[in-house]
């Protein structure tokens, strides 16, 4: 089994580690976090886990791959350092804060010929692969419009999320990026055109260059002739914990990914023809760790570079254009 190290063992890092251990497909050899308490808590999840005293010490360990779940400002540099040591990398989204940083990481992985993965977890909802296959086969006809929505009624609980220099942006970078990736993955590669956006903080329209983290955003863009509209927010009065939806409208049918009753975890995926609805997948569905599990499965078979990860560069470009940078 691949030997992995984890850097960043806060809530999301421990959740991903727990999912991996339950799958039984990799060994967690070492962990590191700037919080000794967080590192110690992660080390209790499995036997024989070494707690490294620094990131440099973690990189010295005999590891096949590194899982990164640190604040966004650290992602690019930590990925580059790990790849330079010949280690495969799986990183929380965003892979980096800008297109330029993202491209550096992807090209470093290509040069090192090491597997690089990003935790775009919504691709791995039950039924999503089937929906992608049906859309590519033309089951919806010509897809001409899509509506992407992600409202989180609470917002992040860490101060760095609200610092644009650290996070790269606000709710678009935190939430909207998931739906931009999902749309590009479902609709296929193509040229993104006519990106426009309006960003707000505390109900006030922000003006570029953006120095405050937005808590509400709308954006529009074209991909392969499809008109996509994005809306995302933190701390919105939404009447529920979360609204997470993606609706695709085609000439022969429609499809939707929707969260259920405000849940962050329960989703339904459906296809529509006229007034009829076919459910492709539902809940319960333990999807949270599947992106990591998929990466580890591929790592165990072949640790070399997978060009599919280059989509992260286009996602970052779309996000950059929404921030007008």
* 196: CATH: 3.30.360.10
DSSP 314: H
Tell me the per-residue pLDDT of 133-188, one tens digit each, with 9 for 90 and over.
Answer: 999 999 999 999 999 999 999 999 999 999 999 999 999 999 999 999 999 999 99
Percent of the chain topping pLDDT 90: 99
- In contact, 104 and 217? CB cutoff 8 Å: no
Q: Are residues 157 and 260 in the same domain?
A: yes
SS (H, E, C) 14-82: HHHHHHHHHHCCCEEEEEECCCHHHHHHHHCCCCCCEECCCHHHHHHCCCCEEEECCCHHHHHHHHHHH
**What is the percent of the chain with per-residue pLDDT over 70, rounded to a whole number?**
100
- 8 A C-beta contact, residue 273 and residue 209: no
Q: Do residues 285 and 260 make contact, with C-beta atoms less than 8 angstroms apart? A: no
What pTM value is reported for the model?
0.97
Q: Tell me what the mean pLDDT of segment 120-138 comes to.
A: 97
The number of distinct structural domains making up the chain is: 2
Whether residues 236 and 279 share a domain: the answer is: yes
What are the phi and psi torsion angles at 13 (to 5°)? Answer: -60, -45
pLDDT of residue 93: 98
For residues 141 and 261, state if they share a domain: yes
Does residue 121 carry a pLDDT above 90?
yes
230 and 140 assigned to the same domain: yes
E strand segments, 138-286: 143-152, 192-201, 204-205, 216-223, 226-234, 242-250, 254-259, 267-273, 276-281
Place of tokens 């008109």: 227
182, 42: one domain? no
**pLDDT higher than 90, residue 104:** yes
- Bridge-partner residues for 230, per DSSP? 148, 219
Residue range 61-80: mean pLDDT, rounded: 98
Task: Report yes or no on 317 lying in a domain.
Answer: no
Domain check: are 138 and 282 in the same one? yes
Model confidence band, residue 237 (pLDDT cutoffs 50, 70, 90): very high
Pairing outcome for strands 226-234 and 216-223:
antiparallel
Q: What is the mean pLDDT of the chain?
A: 97
139 and 241, same domain (yes or no): yes
- Give me the sign of the Cα torsion angle 216, 249, 321, 136: positive
- Is residue 189's pLDDT more than 90? no
Q: Which domain holds residue 50?
A: 3-120+289-306
pLDDT tens-digit map of 82-101: 999 999 999 999 999 999 99
Question: Within a 10 A sphere around the Cβ of 205, how many other Cβ atoms?
Answer: 10
């Amino acid at each position: 089994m691949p030997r992995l190290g984890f850097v960043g063992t806060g809530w999301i890092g421990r959740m991903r580690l727990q999912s991996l251990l339950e799958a039984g497909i990799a060994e967690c050899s070492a962990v590191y976090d700037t919080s000794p308490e967080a590192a110690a808590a992660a080390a209790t999840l499995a036997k024989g886990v070494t707690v490294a005293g620094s990131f440099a010490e973690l990189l010295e360990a005999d590891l096949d791959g590194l899982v990164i779940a640190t604040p966004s400002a650290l992602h690019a540099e930590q990925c580059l350092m790990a790849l330079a040591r010949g280690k495969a990398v799986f990183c929380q989204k965003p892979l980096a804060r800008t297109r330029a940083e993202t491209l550096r990481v992807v090209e470093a992985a290509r040069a090192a010929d090491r597997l690089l993965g990003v935790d775009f977890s919504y691709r791995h909802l039950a039924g999503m692969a089937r929906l992608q296959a049906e859309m590519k086969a033309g089951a919806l006809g010509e897809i001409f419009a899509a509506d992407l929505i992600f409202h989180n009624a609470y917002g992040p609980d860490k101060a760095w999320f609200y610092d644009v220099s650290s996070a790269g942006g606000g709710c678009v970078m935190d939430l909207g990026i998931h739906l931009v990736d999902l749309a590009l993955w479902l609709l296929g590669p193509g040229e993104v055109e006519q990106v426009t956006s309006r960003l707000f903080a505390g109900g006030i329209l922000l003006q570029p260059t953006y120095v405050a983290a937005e808590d509400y955003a709308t954006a529009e863009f074209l991909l392969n002739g499809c008109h996509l509209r994005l809306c995302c927010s933190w701390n919105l009065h939404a009447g529920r914990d979360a609204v997470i939806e993606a609706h695709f409208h085609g000439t022969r049918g429609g499809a939707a990914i929707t969260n259920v009753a405000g849940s962050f975890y329960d989703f339904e995926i459906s296809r529509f023809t006229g007034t009829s609805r076919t459910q492709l997948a539902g809940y319960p569905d333990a999807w949270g760790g599947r992106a990591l599990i998929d990466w580890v499965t591929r790592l165990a078979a072949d640790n070399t570079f997978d060009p599919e990860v280059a989509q992260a560069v286009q996602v970052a470009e779309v996000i950059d254009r929404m921030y007008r940078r």
